[in-house]
Chains A and B, each alone.
Chain A
Amino acid sequence: KNQVEQSPQSLIILEGKNCTLQCNYTVSPFSNLRWYKQDTGRGPVSLTIMTFSENTKSNGRYTATLDADTKQSSLHITASQLSDSASYICVVSATTGNQFYFGTGTSLTVIP
């Protein structure tokens, strides 16, 4: 069964600290993996897109990694800011069936 699981469900960190969010998937055949950031009361916005051949991709203070062998991805946030407080959603797509699979998200709260 194609599934996407994210951990932790929620996370609270101090401003300036780093954190790592996890996404494990069983989607096959794998096409790509996206991390979205969803601010409260807003729609999700794409942060990064990872394909099978990519191990690491950065977008400012956000760095995503992908291990296609273990079917795991992580999103590392460096030097967190209050504006990083949001829900982060992992979405994995398959190469067949035009299917996208959503994780339930990690809620991140950055406190001063």
Chain B
Amino acid sequence: DGGITQSPKYLFRKEGQNVTLSCEQNLNHDAMYWYRQDPGQGLRLIYYSQIVNDFQKGDIAEGYSVSREKKESFPLTVTSAQKNPTAFYLCASRKTGTGINYGYTFGSGTRLTVV
């Protein structure tokens, strides 16, 4: 079955460490996204990519980095510069375009905790 897979489900980071969250999709979607979700808040866009080897900053990109070397993969690195990284991270993908066939498919999320 086609889908989008995030790993790991839970991740613990020590102060000053960089960690990388994995996101893989086999839906043949061109666009991929990373969102951060804090308790009681909506989704906030970190980075997105609409094509391989190209990505754009979202609303809260500081302290994060991404790469898009393959269409299927869009890993997110949370760097030590991100001062408050504890949150739930969601990856999403979709076909580019408008209309009912171009909605988001979300992964199941990664919960990152700083220890």
Contacts and interface: CB of A to CB of B under 8 A. Distances in A.
Contacts of A49: 100, 103
Nearest to A42: B108
Chain B CB count within 10 A is highest, among A32, A43, A93, for A43
A45 B109 CA distance: 12
Nearest to A4: B42
B98 A94 contact: yes
A102 B100 contact: no
Contacts of B50: 98
Contacts of A32: 98-100, 103
A46 B97 contact: no
Count class of interface residues, chain A: 20 to 34
Contacts, number: 52
A96 B98 CA distance: 8
Interface string A4-22: 0000010000000000000
Main secondary structure on A side of the interface with B: strand
A100 B104 contact: yes
Nearest to A104: B42
Given A32-B103, A41-B109, A44-B90, 13 more contacts: A31-B98, A31-B99, A34-B103, A41-B88, A42-B108, A42-B109, A43-B92, A44-B106, A45-B106, A89-B42, A89-B43, A93-B98, A107-B40
